Amino acid sequence: MIYAANFKTNHTRASTHAYVEKLNSALSAKKPEDKVYIFPPTTAFDHYEGDFTIGVQNAHEAYNGAFTGEIGVEQLDEFGIRTIMIGHSERRGILRKSQDQVIEKFSYFEKEGFEILYCIGEPLSIRDIGEDAVYRYLKAQLNGIDISYEKLIVAYEPIWAIGTGRSATVKEITTVHKELKAMINRPLLYGGSVNLKNIDEIRSIEEVDGVLIGSASLDAENFSKMILGS
Ligand code: PEP
């Protein structure tokens, strides 16, 4: 299983150090095949050590240059970061990134050989129309993306389940993951209000290869408990 923590705009470098220290003591008990990712804010980057991978929540598609307010590969190289999240719904929605911009970023970081955690997910208005509309929407978000990229991980995150406390049901996750798995031969994570109470049933779904966790990952002990299981 893959366990990815998305800190979003939470935590500082000091609190991330404290987090990593707590997480490391728990991770010695994790299953060897489990893989853990942490996506802290970029100001928290440092040379962390442990059985996890640090990724970046976003970066500009350039090595360096005149891109005020952005960071590029040069800044990521300083911390040895080779994993990037692309297409998160908060970037698509709040930060108004179009599919074309997402594709451009994906292509650049694929060429750079980064591992890419690519997020897709439908809004409630699409879910309310029905399953076929959901599949069409998700397929459009895979348009222009090299879904055979060997360093690709996909996360299905229905927008109505993110940060709302309302996770998709086991049935909803299973049907969407089955549909996506028929198209993509890469690890497929579920994200959206995964927490200590629902993680066991979510990880027991055959088509779920891991979870992307926001709110419930912010506390190291909570995230550790989710990884280690009951
Ligand atoms: C996310 O933003 O990727 C996410 C899954 O958030 P939450 O767990 O808080 O729903």
Q: What is the CATH number of the domain that holds 22?
A: 3.20.20.70
* Average of per-residue pLDDT across 160-182: 94
Pairing of the two strands 35-39 and 2-6:
parallel
User: pLDDT over 90 for what percent of the chain?
Assistant: 96
Whether residue 229 is predicted with pLDDT greater than 90 in this model: the reply is no
The pTM for the full model equals 0.97
Residue range 58-71, pLDDT digits in tens: 999 999 999 999 99
**Residues 35, 157: Cα–Cα separation, whole Å:** 19
Higher pLDDT, 165 or 160: 160
* Average of per-residue pLDDT across 204-229: 97
> What confidence category does residue 165 fall into, taking pLDDT thresholds of 50, 70 and 90?
confident
Whether residue 230 is predicted with pLDDT greater than 80 in this model: the reply is no
**192 in contact with ligand 1, CB cutoff 6 A:** yes
Please give the residue range of the domain that contains residue 48.
Answer: 2-228
* Average of per-residue pLDDT across 133-149: 97
What is the H or E stretch that residue 174 is in? helix 170-181
Residue range 71-129, pLDDT digits in tens: 999 999 999 999 999 999 999 999 999 999 999 999 999 999 999 999 999 999 999 99
Asked whether the beta carbons of 163 and 214 are under 8 A apart, the reply is: yes
Catalytic residue among 61, 90, 122, 157: 157
CA 66 to centroid of ligand 1, rounded, Å? 32
Give the count of domains, the chain: 1
Q: Which residues of 144-161 are buried (b: 16+ CB within 10 A; e: fewer)?
A: ebeeebeebbbbbbbbbb
Backbone φ, ψ for residue 217 (5° rounding) = -95, -10
> What confidence category does residue 166 fall into, taking pLDDT thresholds of 50, 70 and 90?
confident
* Average of per-residue pLDDT across 171-180: 97
**Residues 14, 2: Cα–Cα separation, whole Å:** 25
> What confidence category does residue 33 fall into, taking pLDDT thresholds of 50, 70 and 90?
very high
CA 65 to centroid of ligand 1, rounded, Å? 32
**58 in contact with ligand 1, CB cutoff 6 A:** no
**Residues 42, 209: Cα–Cα separation, whole Å:** 26
Catalytic residue among 61, 88, 177, 179: 88
